[in-house]
Amino acid sequence: MDLASVTRFRTAAARADLHLAEGERLLAGGTWLFSEPQPEVSGLVDLTSLGWAPWEPLPGGGLRVAATCTIAQLLQAPWPSPELPRACADALLMSFKIQHAATVGGNLCLALPAGAMIALAAALAGEAVVWTPDGGERREPVTTFVRGPGLTSLTGGEVLRGVDLPGWALRAATASGRAALTTYGRSAALVIGRRDPDAIALTITASVPRPVVLMLPPAPSERTVRATVAEAGAEVGWYADPHGAPDWRAAQTGRLAVEVCEALS
Amino acid sequence: MILDGVEVAGEPAPGQCLRTWIREQGVTAVKKGCDAGDCGACSVLLDGAPVHSCVTPAVRARGRAVTTAAGLGTPADLSPVQRRFAEAAAFQCGFCTPGWVVTATALAGDDGRVEVEEPERCFKGNLCRCTGYRSIRDALGGVANVEGLDAPEQGGFGRSVAAPAARRVVTGTEPFTLDLPDAGVLHVKLVRSDQAHARVTAIDVSAAEAIEGVVLVLTHRDAPDLLYSTARHESRLDDPDDTRLLDDVVRFRGQRVAAVVAESAAIAERAAALVQVSYEPLPAVFDPEEARSPGAPLLHGDKSPEQSRIAAPERNVVAHTHGEVGDVAAALDSAAYTVTGTWTTGRVTHASLETHGARAWVDDDGVLTVRTSTQVPFLVREELARLLSREPDSVRVVAARVGGGFGGKQELLVEDVVALAALRLAERGDRRPVQLELTREEQFTAVPWRHPMRVSVTLGADADGSLTAMAVDVLSDTGAYGNHAAGVMFHGVHESVAVYRCPHKRVDAEAVYTNNPPSGAFRGYGLGQLIFAIESAMDDLAREVGLSPYELRRRNAVVPGDEFVVNGPADTDLAFGSYGLDQCLDLVEQALDAGAAPPPGEGWRTGTGMALAMIATIPPRGHHSSARVTLEADGTATVEVGTAEFGNGTATVHTQIVAEALGLSPDRVRLVTSDTATSGYDSGAFGSTGSVVAGLAVHRAAEEVRRRLDEPQRPLSATGSSTGSPRSVAFNVHGVRVAVHPATGEVRILDSVQAVDAGVVINPEQLRGQVEGGVAQAIGSALQEEVVVVEGAVQTRTFRNYRLPQLGDVPPTRVLFADTYDTLGPRGAKSMSEAPYNPVAPAIANAVRDAVGRRPRELPMSRDRIWRLTRGES
């Protein structure tokens, strides 16, 4: 939709252009920004003109995914096994047309509980790379970068540059499961398991307000899985919104966690 | 930028999306369905890649090629994909169609067919509210369903003739209401209440008026001191006069408080944010049971019951009926079997892809002209004239093709504001048109939805399963205003109860004001809510008695010769013009037995269910239409008729009726419709009257022309009229087989069959489409759609949060036709637009009950609710 209050549009050509004036917002794909009224926004600063490579290899077989990498570009990255990124892209509410424009960074910064790129990055031990206003950089696990619904650790002047996914995580076996009120609707619970040498890392999103990663022993019993998930959910609180009642989400998360652990054991 | 092959210059505004930029260039093939990236009606190809232009910053398209549906082909030279959509009849209102065509083009082969692994996933970003998606799947797969697209000499009455607008719809060139040039047009933005119940103590518009480009701000001080109802009926006395154009009391969050008129929509929006409203909060009530209890805050306590036609303003009751035939208590005492239960239904929005919108101006002759997306142009004209103290002749209301209605456009929701603004400006010598187009968020938060109801049913039967007693108690939440409250309540308890022969009946029903946003007319008009409860109770009774649900209905449903009884004297203008219920029951029972699909896997439980529905073919108390058919000198025919085409297919039906009567090919029949200046009076397109009332008037006019064909003069004109009485009855029976997954609560429809008694079928493909669309809308209401409201505040304000059914949510439904001839309808036909919706939810609920042994009592039967149900929780 038209953003009636926006009167300025800047195209960033260099890092210095990312210093925002009052009322300015960074624009990546724009698929969320243009989908809701933004009465507080008076200017847009286009990030995509910085020309960041959508993804770059990291030492050790890892990947750096730029914040401006679109979902469609992400799927073209050299994944050791493409199933998990495919499943996470499919878990997104929006159609393939939106995936041509929507970005990984946009999904992370929106910080929705159902943000499937958050889930993907958290499940693959992703680290957010954040440009700080002093010209420096800080790194933080995605699991703490996203703090709650609509809330990240970004402070004034900081910009999400990308997310680094380590090679060991990319090479790990993974499994995932998803619940939603409709088959292709917004996720109500998304559970991803990663098989590490001596553990299963279980990442829970959509049913909780922020990503939760649980470390379970290899081949855990169903009882252990359910108890661990229930305890973690109780601690952060099961998320409530029109996409599913909290008690149902808790049950679905437990069920999916058991299925995912079985698949990885 | 290259737009549809043409270089365009100019600079978009900084916050402008590509959709409005394209429309500013005069290309209106991109539609606004949601403006939020959900519905796909604005899809375009950007350098060949499909995107939603509403969430694409316009500046991103600089120097690139943008292609809309209008750039892919023309009506005379359809692209392969456009041809597939036209041949499949893959649209009804057609508002979403250009977006489908563009998206499909991105995925299609040279032959226009789309072969993808998972169309459900590919097309989750394209929503259609009308069709139920089967015909769209046919278009994608290359299945042709209509004739006459290339050979217009073919196809008369009873044939699957293509819609006259097909070629324009698939190319995005059929003009909808606001598909007009935008230059010099003023735009309205409404200031809305954030209070559920409050008195407006002050409105400061000075900051808004100071913005350059603002031309007018309207508040309650400018509104006529006259009460009316947004609901429109043939008799304006059907609805309470409880609404002011702009009021100094707000009764729901979202009620309009002021209207800002400016030289652009963006200026109006910025200025509206600067209007300062001071409120004195009043106590509010959100629960209808509380609202009618002693001590509750009164919403319309200041109004006269007689003058405003409110049943009991002192207890928030806008309409009620309490009545009994026979002695229900005694009959229940002596019944061999009794069942009882209470059911509730949720809020459902119409979700027509085109939002409400209107444009008004005063023309050179001083006529106030309102072009609006309405189902009822004549009724809007009558009320606007009254409200603005003008002669009806000095008001002209015109509807273009309407982008979906479902009852939502049987209301006066935007026309009054633009009309008042246009008149005010004309008084100042400013004749610029004034336009108001609601946002999708406003559609969710500020315009009427389906009445939520609580319905209790008690049934008694003798040892043979013959009904002896029926008691129904209804509480309907009409929200802050009583538009359609009485009509929906009375209709809701009518055919649902009258369909059963039973000597002792009692019905108590009340429609109650609350501080929730208003409810209104919705497909089925109350029957869906009642039939959900009554047909669920009948299913319980069948189990008690030990009869099949079909047999129980056969034993108790009315047959010709019976009277139609609710809770008082029988109806006098309702008659059996035909009767096909017996056939419908047989057809569904046999078809469902034959199609026993297996469960999807382990852990699923399967069950079957059915329900019936009866509907009067025409609304009560008169529905009028007057049509003119003219045989021109060149051998073509012109039809002038006042009803509106909103996806119901009347344009096709009227064409077929005239073509058949005069022996013409359909392409030689021209329609002039829905314009109060050129057409005879028509009550409007509601209550499924486009075929049986307007169609009958057209039929009579055409027959008169035919009788006079020997006369030499051309043009040769005749008129025909229809008064909507007596009325007939139509029947629908729905059957489903479902699988329920207790672990997730998912209900999967394995087989879905609906048999319809529509009399003689005028256009089989079109009728099938109407039925499928009604079934799909009902599946949405039954399983997934819900406007969530907390303390009068809407939580679900977008399609994505509301879960409008997508391609992947709607299973195929087999549609079967009973073979009947109606003595009251045109050439034996009956209406069949809203009726298919009504029996679906109880059929699914009964199948879930069969599968899991517990009965769902609340709509929607969402996965979380069914999961709880299977665990014995509620």
| Token pair recorded at residue B863 | 């996965």
Judged by a CB distance cut-off of 8 A, whether residue A41 touches chain B is yes
Would you place residue A39 in the very low, low, confident or very high pLDDT band (cuts 50, 70, 90)? Answer: very high
Contacts of A8 in chain B (CB under 8 A): 14
Whole-number Å distance between alpha carbons of B804 and B727: 34
Contacts of B744 in chain A (CB under 8 A): 179, 252, 255
Say whether A100 and B51 touch across the interface (CB within 8 A). Answer: yes
Closest CA to B840 of B643, B609, B672, B682: B609
The rounded percent of chain B whose pLDDT value lies above 70 is 99
Say whether B864 and A1 touch across the interface (CB within 8 A). Answer: no
**pLDDT at residue B789, rounded to an integer:** 97
Helix, strand, coil fractions of chain A, as percent rounded to 5: 30, 30, 40
Would you place residue B513 in the very low, low, confident or very high pLDDT band (cuts 50, 70, 90)? Answer: very high
Q: What is the pTM of this model?
A: 0.97
- Nearest-CA distance from A37 to chain B in Å? 10
DSSP collapsed to 3 states, B582-645: HHHHHHHHHHHHHCCCCCCCCCCEEEEEEEEEEEECCCCCCCCEEEEEEECCCCCEEEEECCCC
- Nearest-CA distance from B840 to chain A in Å? 18
User: Which of the residues A70, A182, A186, A238 would you substitute to probe the B interface, choosing the one with the greatest number of B C-beta atoms within 10 Å?
Assistant: A182
CB under 8 Å to A95, separation ≥6 — which residues? B40, B52, B122, B123, B124, B125, B126
**pLDDT at residue B271, rounded to an integer:** 98
Contacts of B795 in chain A (CB under 8 A): 241-242
Quick: pLDDT tens for B431-466: 999 999 999 999 999 999 999 999 999 999 999 999
Nearest Cβ partner of B784 from A9, A27, A181? A181
With 0-12 CB in 10 A as exposed, 13-18 as middle and 19+ as buried, what is B872?
exposed
Q: Give the pairing type, strands B434-437 and B186-192.
A: parallel
Among A residues 67-106, those touching chain B with beta carbons less than 8 Å apart: 90, 93-98, 100-101
8 Å CB contact between A262 and A221: no
Whole-number Å distance between alpha carbons of B867 and B530: 25
Asked, colleague to colleague, whether B449-619+727-870 and B625-722 share their fold, the answer is yes
Residue with tokens 């939709």: A1
Task: Return the CATH fold of A173-264.
Answer: Enolase-like; domain 1 (3.30.390)
Neighbours of A152 (CB within 10 A): 22
Q: CA angle, A31 as apex, A30 and A35 as ends, to 5°?
A: 105
Would you place residue B154 in the very low, low, confident or very high pLDDT band (cuts 50, 70, 90)? Answer: low
Contacts of B439 in chain A (CB under 8 A): 1
Half-sphere exposure of A157 (CA within 13 A, CB side): 9
8 Å CB contact between B368 and B362: yes
Q: Is the pLDDT of residue B155 over 80?
A: no
Please tell me which residue of chain B has the smallest CA distance to A25.
B15
8 Å CB contact between B828 and B766: no
CB under 8 Å to B745, separation ≥6 — which residues? A248, B862, B863, B864, B865, B866, B867, B868, B869, B870
**pLDDT at residue B151, rounded to an integer:** 72
- Nearest-CA distance from B457 to chain A in Å? 28
Say whether A255 and B60 touch across the interface (CB within 8 A). Answer: no
Pick the CATH number of B186-282+356-437 from 3.40.718.10, 3.60.21.10, 3.20.20.70, 3.90.1170.50: 3.90.1170.50
Residue B260's DSSP bridge partners are B189, B217
- CA A217, A221, A222, A223 dihedral sign is negative
Residue B262's DSSP bridge partners are B187, B214
Contacts of A241 in chain B (CB under 8 A): 795
Quick: pLDDT tens for B320-330: 999 999 999 99
Quick: pLDDT tens for A25-37: 999 999 999 999 9
Say whether A41 and B800 touch across the interface (CB within 8 A). Answer: no
With 0-12 CB in 10 A as exposed, 13-18 as middle and 19+ as buried, what is B391?
exposed
Q: Report domain extents, chain B.
A: 2-170, 186-282+356-437, 449-619+727-870, 625-722
CB under 8 Å to B590, separation ≥6 — which residues? none
Beta strands in B632-728 (DSSP E): 637-641, 669-673, 716-722
Quick: pLDDT tens for B593-612: 776 778 888 999 999 999 99
Give the residue range(s) of CATH 3.30.465.10 domains in chain A.
Answer: 55-168
Say whether A1 and B36 touch across the interface (CB within 8 A). Answer: yes
Burial B554-590 (b: 16+ CB within 10 A, else e): bbbbbeeeeebbbbeeebeebbbbbbbbbbbbbbbbe
Judged by a CB distance cut-off of 8 A, whether residue A40 touches chain B is no
Contacts of B54 in chain A (CB under 8 A): 1, 34-35
Please tell me which residue of chain A has the smallest CA distance to B126.
A95
**Cα→Cα distances B139→B51, B118, B546, B806, Å:** 21, 15, 45, 16
Quick: pLDDT tens for B365-407: 999 999 999 999 999 999 999 999 999 999 999 999 999 999 9
8 Å CB contact between B421 and B360: yes
- Nearest-CA distance from A255 to chain B in Å? 8
What mean pLDDT comes out for the span A217-221?
95
Would you place residue B147 in the very low, low, confident or very high pLDDT band (cuts 50, 70, 90)? Answer: confident
CA end-to-end span of chain B, whole Å?
Answer: 57
**A55-168 is a CATH 3.30.465.10 domain:** yes
What is B449-619+727-870's CATH number? 3.30.365.10
- For domain B2-170, the CATH architecture is Orthogonal Bundle (1.10)
Instruction: State in words which class domain B625-722 has.
Output: alpha beta
ipTM for the whole complex: 0.97
Nearest Cβ partner of B17 from A34, A182, A251? A34
What mean pLDDT comes out for the span B773-783?
98
Contacts of B17 in chain A (CB under 8 A): 1-3, 34
CB pairs under 8 A between A and B: 155
Q: Is the pLDDT of residue B689 over 90?
A: no
Closest CA to A15 of A30, A6, A23, A26: A26
Quick: pLDDT tens for B553-606: 999 999 999 999 999 999 889 999 999 999 999 999 999 977 677 888 899 999
Quick: pLDDT tens for B516-540: 999 999 999 999 999 999 999 999 9
Would you place residue B691 in the very low, low, confident or very high pLDDT band (cuts 50, 70, 90)? Answer: confident
**pLDDT at residue B595, rounded to an integer:** 64
Give the residue range(s) of CATH 3.30.390.50 domains in chain A.
Answer: 173-264
- Nearest-CA distance from A168 to chain B in Å? 31
Say whether B49 and A41 touch across the interface (CB within 8 A). Answer: no
| Token pair recorded at residue B466 | 């013959």
- CA B367, B372, B377, B379 dihedral sign is negative
Helix or strand (DSSP H, E) at B581: helix B581-594
Query: What's the mean pLDDT when you consider all of chain B?
Result: 96
Residue B371's DSSP bridge partners are B359, B398
Among A residues 227-256, those touching chain B with beta carbons less than 8 Å apart: 241-245, 247-249, 251-252, 255
Judged by a CB distance cut-off of 8 A, whether residue A37 touches chain B is yes
Please tell me which residue of chain A has the smallest CA distance to B746.
A181
**pLDDT at residue B149, rounded to an integer:** 84
